[in-house]
Amino acid sequence: MTTIQTPPPPDNVATAEPESAAGHHRQRRQFISTGGAIAAIAVTAQTLGYVSSIEHSAIEILHWSIFRNIDAVLRIGVPIAIAIGVALAMYGVAFYVRERRAIPKALPIAIIVALAGSTAYASLRLLPNKVTPGDYLKAEATERARHLLAYQVTTADPQGHSTGGIRVTSDVTMTQQVWTTAQVLSGILASRADLDADEVNRIRSAFGYMDAQFVPDQGWGYFDGWRTGVTEVAGWVCLAQIASLDHTPSIWQGQQRNAVIDSTARTLALLAAKQHASDGGWGPNIGDSSSDFTRTYSTAMATWCFVEARRSPSLQSMVSSRYDGNIERGINWLLLNYDAKLGWVPNPTRKPQSERFLGLDAQVLYVVSRAEHDFSSFLNAQATHTAKKDFLEFLDVSRSLRTNDRMHDGDRYLMHASGSPATQSASAIPCGCQFTVESSTFLWYPWSLAAARALSMDQTLSADERDAARQKADVLEQRASEAKPWLDDEFHYVTAEFLMGTAAT
């Protein structure tokens, strides 16, 4: 009998899988790779959320509203993406195992649901804290403080100037100035900047510089060596001194603290003595006591100094109600010189005028708000309410941060009504000319934010007015990241006032 043998199939035929099985393998591999990729990307996105420097840069690159929306999407999307990614990957793995082993179909489904749900929950719990404008401002304050203190004149300075002061700009050839130094110190100490030991030492050195530049009966001039004092410079020095005494953690220890208290008392006594008895205002020229020269900014800065001294825990026993009369007369001058059409102007004695100074308006209003708690019975309720309402109506929160109002040239020259030269005290060096003041620029953004925040909590306003102030403050706060290119190009006083205004509450 003849036996016919069937030859074995070729190797490639013998080992080949059915087409459907091969397709299932490819699908499972795709599920595993796709799911793993999705989960990896989502975890990476969540990890980056913990890196504050990345968040800080993202806020500066994007408008806050855009960043906030992206952040909200990521907070919802990341846990969902991780759950989907894990589910896809586990789908491929679980059903691969099921094909190799005889297990119920419900088991891999239960495993997928459990793992995907638990990883999504863990991801949700591990989300970084929600970023707020306040977080950005704190990080920005620390960065800006470090930048400003880097321009302090030190013993290594090649020009051999007195040391400790802050230069007026980032140009290392520019001079230091008490006014800039005082504003920088006020801004840094009022902000929430994190200060290391070296930066605290620099701050102490800056106070030493200002103390060394003091001229008896005059205070401080515009630059080193000036013998005629300027009221607003003394006002800023006063604010810096008080801020350093109340700062936490403490800037001063032991006898250092006592010395600063003594210096602050000297500044307060100087400003009290230079208030014009006839009208309660202050002029920029400390060397001339004439009421011809009373100005809004000078009066606001001197009044602010006394208000903060009265509120200071460090000076409470020394100050108490000692300067209440100075505060009341200063505020009275400010309210009497409020223009119903223009608000506060730098020189209310010049007529006619047509310019409005939003930055000056906001800063004066903030000073008044700081005094209101202790002097509400004294304040003219109608006048202050009018000023608050006018400010909220006029404030355009979309205004460019760089659009700031500058004092008119004609207001720079202090000339007596009679035309006679300004008198000089015995300690001042006569210049043979009328006194000329610096043409100040009034920054609208930081002080509008400070004023709007204050008004949002002002119980003398209606609920609707407080809500309007709160909305404007929120929009302005969210615009803080827009300030970076502006601050990078400006004088240091701009950054200092930005730090102070954005930290004010």
State residue 15's pLDDT score.
47
Among all chains, which residue has been given the structure tokens 């941060």? 401
Q: How many C-beta atoms surround the C-beta of residue 402 within 10 A?
A: 15
Please say whether the beta carbons of 358 and 395 come within 8 A. yes
Taking the C-alpha atoms of residue 337 and residue 116, their distance in angstroms, rounded to an integer, is: 68
Taking the C-alpha atoms of residue 445 and residue 243, their distance in angstroms, rounded to an integer, is: 22
The C-alpha angle with vertex 49 and arms to 43 and 55, in degrees rounded to 5, equals 145
Q: Return the amino acid letter for 71.
A: D
Among all chains, which residue has been given the structure tokens 């393998």? 25
Q: What does the pLDDT look like over 87-130, one tens digit per residue?
A: 666 666 666 665 666 666 666 667 666 666 666 666 666 666 66
SS3 state of residue 403: coil
Q: What does the pLDDT look like over 251-272, one tens digit per residue?
A: 999 999 999 999 999 999 999 9
Helices and strands in the chain, H and E counts: 19, 4
Residues of the chain predicted below pLDDT 50: 1, 12-17, 419, 421-422, 426-433
Q: What does the pLDDT look like over 297-308, one tens digit per residue?
A: 999 999 999 999
Which residues, 6+ apart, have CB-to-CB distance to 3 below 8 Å? none
Please say whether the beta carbons of 343 and 356 come within 8 A. yes
SS3 state of residue 343: strand
Secondary structure of 415-437 in the HEC alphabet?
CCCCCCCCCCCCCCCCCCCCEEC
The DSSP bridge partners found for residue 219 are 215
Question: Which residue from 293, 292, 305, 312 is spatially nearest to 331, judged by alpha carbons?
Answer: 305
State residue 122's pLDDT score.
65
The DSSP bridge partners found for residue 285 are 230
Give me the long-range contacts of 429-437 (CB less than 8 A, separation at least 24). 429/227, 429/228, 431/228, 435/228, 435/284, 435/285, 435/287, 435/288, 435/293, 436/412, 437/230, 437/284, 437/285, 437/295, 437/411, 437/412, 437/413
State residue 294's pLDDT score.
92
Question: What are the DSSP calls for 43-111, one per residue?
Answer: HHHHHHTT-HHHHHHHHHHS-HHHHHHHHHHHHHHHHHHHHHHHHHHHHHHHHHHHHHS---THHHHHH
Which residues, 6+ apart, have CB-to-CB distance to 269 below 8 Å? none
The DSSP bridge partners found for residue 441 are 406
